[in-house]
Structure 1
């Protein structure tokens, strides 16, 4: 969907004030398709495997981008919002007309066939994507779970060329051009194209096989063949291709030409699979029986599926701008694209359990995305948790990152532990918790040979020294020997999460992990200072790397922040991952009370938070920042959390194509937006939501588990967002002074009413010691 920026304000207000609005009309899949958001903009179902879109030669990590680049093909598998290398995009098809119907007058190579698209022609809605190419061909697409349906119209293209027989090629490649080998076969009678290939994951180790089956309808087959290096022939119908000599990337594929096209339109049905070409064909035939007449029906079914997924949430948006509404509903939509449900498409083991893929990566998503799905789609979230546990059962470890059947790189700790703890404390059902606990203990106790893709490294030091050392001596396994600070902080919280589940199950070893959760204290250097451009920040005491012998190393506290260079696993590896010491110093979710004391008390903590945000050190484009936005709650100043959230929305998160401050990371950025607009922010792994002021007059969420409706209502709601500070609150009509609430709010359908005003300093709500969010040093029973 494209919003018309010229619509008058009166029209926008009238639209917002409608009594009943279809949320799908407020979903814009193009948000985040520019400026590095890498959002998938095409047609798909919730958690669907098939994801159809036009691929471009610009910012194509998610396939399509609104960056003015050119279209190189249309492919049917993608990930959304990821960083690094482009993901999937296997076996793109591409329509064109050869001048004078001479096959070699067509362009087969990616670089030569690219054609610009007409910017104003782009239409993206849930379950549908369309655009017009500058050569006159228009393309529409929709999708089922394992198949995509494309509709190509050649009328304008045929009017502008001497050719009469449209051609569709299939390229044996992917977006990253990682293909190792591939095979293609074209049926010369029906035109069916079957292909398979071996490719590399974009952020992991190993390789995977992908399979595709393409059928056409609406026209009769004229000829078929293969192409290699921009030359084609019609004699040979089968081809096997490797990567090429001396790693030269050999471009190759197959093609079909058509004549007798009805109304200048024909259809391409693409079935996908990770098992076999036979299964890819069966998927397509089962889900799209008649390509020439099913398009509208499939699009309508996709819209219905998305509407059902959004249905637990409703808002009273009176006075709220359409841009903020679009931001909200589009964000919920983006949280349900990945992880992808590949149940039945996992060739690695036989199981009756669900299999989800594209956990890309849990380090990004555990903080907000999975807690959101626990509220609005608990059944899907339960299946994802079961999939993580099943992966442990058959592969020996729960993943921290996984895509395309491959193990992804571990970025921090074993953060599937946090996902399981969050599911446990929020009573997700259908989960084998004894097996789950085995997986949690395995993460905490056993070091894998290759801890770069699973589990934890440095466990010998973790157990004996109570921290991860700088330049650790680790002979038990191998991985990127960096991130000693961020791994120490994350391992501490991972162990806390193990203790939560263990305590709940009555396991005697739970106290061991609770004790280890305090290891973050062992890397705090009380006299460490921090400077910016030679000027002392005035703050003393920061996490620092520590050697095996207990002596201190050094990392500049602002390193890896927006004020310095970016730090990743391979580019400038350091002792913190993708974030600074300044940012990680606020990540002790289980004992913020102790952290605040360590940093000098509540006033000093607030001053440090303010400086962190206002100096430019905080990186709002990356996930470790999220909880720190709401850390003021723990110092008794919840109104400052609300004010900080409002400073980022809509300044950094908005309803434009460049409306994300970083990669969406499969919906992590989207989820931060949603919770901030809802006014309840999760502390993942705990039964805690921090209360702030919503962006709407009222919000209703009906629990799919209990069918009870929870309501958040704002008295004196101010759509100018001047009066945003909570003065007092009631829960089910009774005074409520705590600045946090538990998941029972959703399960029991409670009502939270917030009265707001213009002055944070005038409010005493949520400020007393008894009203602060729990910490294990002050209220262990509330957490464990």
Structure 2
């Protein structure tokens, strides 16, 4: 099966909404890798159980690949871009071997197998996954919050044999750990300390698992094994414990390293009747202790009822997806596209509350792992959570604030339970601020301490970290000069001296976010100061830098105010053909921009687009809107737009700011048509913890959020109506009067197609065609998009807000 049609098992299958989810979208390995997790998980599940496939597989699973599978791991992330992958610990691999148990393969390469159909025959739906290996073993996977139930179906006449890997995570970063087997109880516990997938090398994390093999019947043969790629392949059946102690860093000479592959292998008798033999394996995981992993397993899966676990998991997904219900008249394709994307917005981060490592083990606050990266998620994911899921948003944001409580800073990119690399700026700030702006009035109901939340925000926009690579800001020159100076020697802090221009823009937006939160919390002095400082983004624009006939682009700037010569705004854009330079977090990134080009980042000032337009049209002030329109069209037409890159998320909506919302609609329609589909390669890039998924959800709903504000820009719905269900703010019914399905058939709006908004009505009162406020939306209850085929100019007095023109009041 392709995965587009959800399977059933023994009468158990997906529900009314989960049947529309294609869990394999975004799992291609070579064609637009979205790095999406496809396996068994509950919403925000810590246990995410699926295959660990060799090669490029950051989420463990990849589809349509001839790469070999190493086994089934219960720990994964979704949508990350780490080439070595994240987690992938504790694989279990079913092997079929002859009568001699000693000849059964244990090491990674000998035991690895291809799948029947190389992934094309894999099946799954929310809460369930299955594949079959070329040795004839079918695996079926189900999970709970912190445990999994796995069914291994062996061919008739074989003796079921399982290899339990102890030391090999996805990037092979095992440092030390322990393994213990209680052979009489048929229970094995393992732990290891591993390197983080996206953080400084000095950071490591512990992981624990508890495996119950008693559901499979009596063990016939068993042994511990150990080996390496240099010829060692040994096993012992007289052991029940093995301790690999840490090795001092001073002894870790590269020429001494011989990574050990180790674990256990167990064999069970064949089916007595001669038929196929199915065995169940139950296991729990934790980042706290092996005891906690066993407790999770016993509490969450007290009985080995595989179908019940699948049904319960699928029911949790039904509840989440039911928070936005599409009109019955929605086309089947759009419905599938919507719920496939909406599903992924609840996959990550991973709720590890009660299972956290130090310093969070004893915290009374929620704990979520896999926050990477805030630069990806603050734009669309968290505003979408605000729309439908205030309690989950409160818990995740409280996790951010607990980072400040326990480690001194809001986490930027926590991966594998440790601090990760900062990407754009200190982008946790707009996440916390967005929550406060929308839900400060519900703090008591959500169990939130507003004073602590504000203290964390204020600290992160003002304090100076020891190292800005993984916490806080590169602060000194920003506060002294109003921009991130190139070739400036900081006296009290350290970190990479790169990405100066893009960080300056991101810090300015962070100031806006904190200023808006201060205003919400009744702190006018702090708000005014931060909003003024948010206009410092202008200091990053070189008015004389030119490209394609347009002037004024962001670039690196010396402390004396001059700009670094030789900048090229095309560098690191899709049109850049020079593969010899770096554009990301590398220390050799010399362009002052992170993961993007100056063409792209020069359009980034979400809080002050009107002011940005003035900066970009500085040499043509009389016709600055026309100049901006030409520049924006050229940005898309020339190929500078990068659909898989977060700084481009807001760019299609910028036409709103010059009174041309129809142009925004046209551009968004093209983007959805050209870059998103249900295919396994149906994303334009990494899903980035559902950044891509949430962007598409917003586009299909006909809205786009301005983070850290209540403002929603009005686009054009792809559906004839929908209902939003919010447990704190109530339900909102959305109608699309004059909805025209013909406008969805091609990338361009056909002549006479009603794809444009005449006006948005709230409880029957028109409020313009360009923006609506979050609070207005939920106060209305009845929302109506009135569609037209006429491309109206202007916003009927509801122009999008900008700080420099007095907006966001």
Counterpart-to-counterpart distance in 1, 2:588 and 2:631: 26
Counterpart-to-counterpart distance in 1, 2:379 and 2:324: 20
> Corresponding residue for 1:689?
712
324, 333, 337: which one aligns with 2:343: 333
Relative to structure 2, which stretch is displaced further, 166-175 or 582-591? 166-175
Please give the secondary structure, in 1, of the residue aligned with 2:339. helix
Unaligned 5+ segments in structure 2 are 6-13, 228-232, 618-623
Answering whether residue 537 of structure 2 is matched by residue 506 of structure 1, we say no
Contact 1:324–1:654, Cα closer than 8 Å, also in 2: no
Counterpart-to-counterpart distance in 2, 1:744 and 1:497: 17
| Structure 1 moving runs of 4+ over 6 Å | 242-245
Contact 1:58–1:67, Cα closer than 8 Å, also in 2: no
Answering whether residue 400 of structure 2 is matched by residue 372 of structure 1, we say no
Q: Structure 1's 634 and 712: CA in aligned 2 closer, same or farther, altered over 3 A?
A: farther
Provide the aligned length of Structure 1 versus Structure 2.
Answer: 748
> Corresponding residue for 1:67?
64
Contact 2:216–2:281, Cα closer than 8 Å, also in 1: no
> Corresponding residue for 2:703?
680
> Corresponding residue for 1:466?
482
Please give the secondary structure, in 2, of the residue aligned with 1:142. strand
Relative to structure 2, which stretch is displaced further, 559-568 or 139-148? 559-568
RMSD: 1.9
Unaligned 5+ segments in structure 1 are 6-19, 531-536
Contact 1:2–1:28, Cα closer than 8 Å, also in 2: no
289, 297, 314: which one aligns with 1:284: 297
> Corresponding residue for 1:95?
94
Counterpart-to-counterpart distance in 1, 2:382 and 2:92: 34
Counterpart-to-counterpart distance in 2, 1:353 and 1:463: 33
Counterpart-to-counterpart distance in 1, 2:429 and 2:356: 23
Q: Structure 1's 319 and 377: CA in aligned 2 closer, same or farther, altered over 3 A?
A: closer
What is the TM-score of this pair, normalised by structure 2?
A: 0.89
> Corresponding residue for 2:563?
552
Counterpart-to-counterpart distance in 2, 1:421 and 1:523: 24
> Corresponding residue for 2:788?
757
422, 438, 448: which one aligns with 2:455: 438
Counterpart-to-counterpart distance in 2, 1:556 and 1:110: 47
Counterpart-to-counterpart distance in 1, 2:395 and 2:742: 38
Please give the secondary structure, in 2, of the residue aligned with 1:197. strand
165, 174, 178: which one aligns with 1:170: 165
> Corresponding residue for 1:9?
none
Contact 1:219–1:261, Cα closer than 8 Å, also in 2: no
Counterpart-to-counterpart distance in 2, 1:147 and 1:103: 29
Answering whether residue 775 of structure 2 is matched by residue 744 of structure 1, we say yes
Q: Structure 1's 61 and 169: CA in aligned 2 closer, same or farther, altered over 3 A?
A: same
Please give the secondary structure, in 2, of the residue aligned with 1:579. coil
Counterpart-to-counterpart distance in 2, 1:716 and 1:25: 25
After superposition, the C-alpha distances for 1:533-562 in whole angstroms (9 at most, x for unaligned) are: xxxx11111112110121110431111111
Please give the secondary structure, in 1, of the residue aligned with 2:268. strand
Counterpart-to-counterpart distance in 1, 2:457 and 2:4: 50
Deviation at 1:3, TM superposition (A): 5.3
Contact 2:175–2:192, Cα closer than 8 Å, also in 1: yes
> Corresponding residue for 1:251?
261
Contact 1:418–1:497, Cα closer than 8 Å, also in 2: yes
> Corresponding residue for 2:8?
none
Contact 2:40–2:129, Cα closer than 8 Å, also in 1: yes
Answering whether residue 112 of structure 2 is matched by residue 114 of structure 1, we say yes
Contact 1:96–1:168, Cα closer than 8 Å, also in 2: yes
Q: Structure 1's 651 and 549: CA in aligned 2 closer, same or farther, altered over 3 A?
A: same
Counterpart-to-counterpart distance in 1, 2:341 and 2:364: 32
Counterpart-to-counterpart distance in 1, 2:481 and 2:63: 51
Counterpart-to-counterpart distance in 2, 1:746 and 1:512: 30
Please give the secondary structure, in 2, of the residue aligned with 1:498. helix
481, 486, 489: which one aligns with 2:502: 486
> Corresponding residue for 2:51?
54
Deviation at 1:240, TM superposition (A): 2.8
After superposition, the C-alpha distances for 1:739-778 in whole angstroms (9 at most, x for unaligned) are: 1111124432533322323342xx23x435x221111122
Relative to structure 2, which stretch is displaced further, 566-575 or 357-366? 566-575
Counterpart-to-counterpart distance in 1, 2:210 and 2:784: 54
Counterpart-to-counterpart distance in 1, 2:261 and 2:780: 57
Q: Structure 1's 557 and 192: CA in aligned 2 closer, same or farther, altered over 3 A?
A: same
Counterpart-to-counterpart distance in 1, 2:3 and 2:57: 23
676, 684, 689: which one aligns with 1:661: 684
Relative to structure 2, which stretch is displaced further, 204-213 or 729-738? 729-738
Q: Structure 1's 571 and 258: CA in aligned 2 closer, same or farther, altered over 3 A?
A: farther
287, 290, 293: which one aligns with 1:274: 287
What is the TM-score of this pair, normalised by structure 1?
A: 0.92
784, 787, 795: which one aligns with 1:767: 795
Counterpart-to-counterpart distance in 2, 1:394 and 1:250: 35
Counterpart-to-counterpart distance in 1, 2:125 and 2:44: 16
Contact 2:35–2:80, Cα closer than 8 Å, also in 1: yes
Contact 1:38–1:59, Cα closer than 8 Å, also in 2: no
Counterpart-to-counterpart distance in 1, 2:587 and 2:487: 18
After superposition, the C-alpha distances for 1:685-707 in whole angstroms (9 at most, x for unaligned) are: 11101001110111111222133
Counterpart-to-counterpart distance in 1, 2:236 and 2:152: 24
174, 177, 184: which one aligns with 2:179: 184
Contact 1:375–1:746, Cα closer than 8 Å, also in 2: no
Contact 1:47–1:341, Cα closer than 8 Å, also in 2: yes
> Corresponding residue for 1:633?
656
> Corresponding residue for 1:731?
762
Q: Structure 1's 611 and 279: CA in aligned 2 closer, same or farther, altered over 3 A?
A: same
Deviation at 1:589, TM superposition (A): 1.1
Contact 2:3–2:123, Cα closer than 8 Å, also in 1: no
> Corresponding residue for 1:151?
151
> Corresponding residue for 1:362?
374
